[in-house]
């Protein structure tokens, strides 16, 4: 994989990228305003990041991202990952295309001429960046779910002291360390300050972090406010229920562990044990009958 070949491939990719985008732009209307992520990475101001961002916002991607459903899917994946690397939909699509090109280039360098292999490699390179972003989103969701019971206890304590729900959340957020849950709560507070009703802001929180605990918590808060019941008492019992469910999930995972480690033990551990035990016996047997 020499530098000249990589440079030629990248030049061809950029030219085709821009040309296809110009052809599509001639057939389509003007694009709508693009939504921006709520948070961005500090590294987005670097020269390489700016160059990639400019390339990703032109050419064929500019035309493809006008399709509402396609762009919304990319935005949803990035939003639930916390906008990893400060990417926008344009950046993710560009890296998906670049991954497909790189995978096809690797197959070409290996000397393979099967068309299906080229197509499969291109598809794999295209989906890998999105798969990585989704994995980051799952990790972020697991962190939120892990921190939620402690947050509910603190909110219940603050409500019992006489604070309003959002005032209690704002007070708790000011003392929290930086984590995914803090980011979501800050977004919740910001939406409410900008005029979004509390019910809609809570529904948006459940949409951004769609774990079972977050969805049920927001629904319970909305229902409690509509019925006029004591929210602090409800949150206390709900926190205990969440801890019980977390213990149940941990016990379930522990119960599945012996089955999961059975195959690795049979493949990697047992053969080594057999060699250590029966190896000297086999050597003594061979030396005796020589």
Query: Which domain-ending residue is among 112, 138, 164?
Result: 138
For 149-188, the pLDDT digits (tens) are: 888 889 988 988 888 888 999 999 988 888 999 999 999 9
On whether the CB atoms of residues 181 and 144 are closer than 8 A, the answer is yes
For 44-81, the pLDDT digits (tens) are: 446 666 666 666 666 677 777 777 788 889 999 999 89
On whether the CB atoms of residues 86 and 41 are closer than 8 A, the answer is yes
Domain presence at residue 211: yes
Q: Are residues 160 and 86 part of one domain?
A: no
The count of C-alpha atoms lying within 13 angstroms of the C-alpha of 123, restricted to the half-sphere facing its C-beta, is 6
CA–CA separation, 98 vs 87, rounded Å? 15
State the alpha helices, DSSP H only, in 161-179. Answer: 165-175
**Can you give the pLDDT at residue 141?**
92
Percent of the chain with pLDDT over 90: 21
For 13-26, the pLDDT digits (tens) are: 655 655 455 444 44
Domain presence at residue 110: yes
Question: Which element (helix H / strand E) includes 265?
Answer: none
**Can you give the pLDDT at residue 208?**
92
CA–CA separation, 89 vs 70, rounded Å? 10
**Is a pLDDT exceeding 70 seen at residue 143?**
yes
Percent of the chain with pLDDT over 70: 79
Q: Are residues 160 and 224 part of one domain?
A: yes
Domain presence at residue 115: yes
Whole-model pTM: value is 0.69
Q: Are residues 241 and 147 part of one domain?
A: yes
Q: What is the dihedral of CA 181, 78, 72, 217, to 10 degrees?
A: -20
**Is a pLDDT exceeding 90 seen at residue 39?**
no
**Can you give the pLDDT at residue 188?**
93
**Can you give the pLDDT at residue 52?**
65
Domain presence at residue 34: no
CA–CA separation, 64 vs 154, rounded Å? 46
**Can you give the pLDDT at residue 14?**
58
Q: Are residues 174 and 85 part of one domain?
A: no
Spatial neighbors of 42 by CB under 8 A, at least 6 apart, are 86
For 104-122, the pLDDT digits (tens) are: 888 888 877 788 888 898 8
Q: Residue 214: which CATH number?
A: 1.20.81
Domain presence at residue 272: no
Q: Are residues 151 and 180 part of one domain?
A: yes
On whether the CB atoms of residues 107 and 124 are closer than 8 A, the answer is no
Domain presence at residue 1: no
Domain presence at residue 268: no
In terms of residue numbers, what domain contains 108? 43-138
Q: Are residues 175 and 132 part of one domain?
A: no
CA–CA separation, 226 vs 216, rounded Å? 15
Q: How many domains does the chain have?
A: 2
Q: Are residues 84 and 124 part of one domain?
A: yes
Domain presence at residue 146: yes
How does the average pLDDT of the chain come out, rounded? 80
Query: Which domain-ending residue is among 211, 227, 246?
Result: 246
**Is a pLDDT exceeding 80 seen at residue 257?**
yes
**Is a pLDDT exceeding 80 seen at residue 214?**
yes
């Amino acid at each position: 994989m020499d530098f000249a070949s990589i440079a030629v491939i990248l030049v061809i990719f950029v030219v085709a990228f821009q040309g296809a985008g110009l052809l599509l732009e001639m057939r389509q209307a003007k694009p709508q305003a693009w939504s921006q992520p709520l948070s961005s990475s500090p590294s987005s101001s670097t020269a390489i990041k700016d160059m990639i961002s400019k390339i990703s916002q032109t050419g064929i991607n500019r035309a493809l991202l006008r399709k509402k459903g396609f762009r919304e899917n990319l935005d949803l994946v990035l939003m639930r990952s916390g906008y990893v690397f400060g990417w926008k939909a344009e950046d993710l699509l560009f890296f998906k295309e670049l991954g497909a090109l790189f995978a096809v280039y690797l197959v070409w360098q290996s000397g393979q001429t099967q068309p299906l292999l080229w197509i499969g490699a291109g598809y794999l390179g295209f989906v890998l960046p999105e798969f990585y972003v989704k994995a980051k989103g799952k990790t972020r969701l697991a962190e939120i779910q892990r921190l939620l019971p402690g947050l509910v206890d603190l909110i219940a304590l603050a409500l019992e002291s006489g604070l309003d729900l959002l005032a209690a959340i704002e007070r708790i957020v000011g003392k929290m360390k930086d984590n995914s849950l803090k980011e979501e709560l800050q977004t919740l507070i910001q939406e409410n300050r900008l005029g979004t009703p509390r019910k809609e802001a809570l529904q948006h929180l459940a949409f951004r972090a769609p774990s079972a605990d977050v969805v049920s918590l927001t629904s319970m808060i909305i229902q409690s406010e509509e019925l006029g019941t004591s929210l602090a008492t409800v949150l206390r019992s709900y926190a205990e229920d969440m801890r019980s469910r977390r213990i149940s999930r941990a016990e379930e995972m522990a119960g599945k562990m012996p089955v999961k480690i059975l195959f690795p033990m049979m493949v990697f551990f047992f053969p080594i044990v057999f060699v250590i035990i029966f190896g000297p016996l086999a050597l003594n047997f061979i030396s005796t009958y020589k």
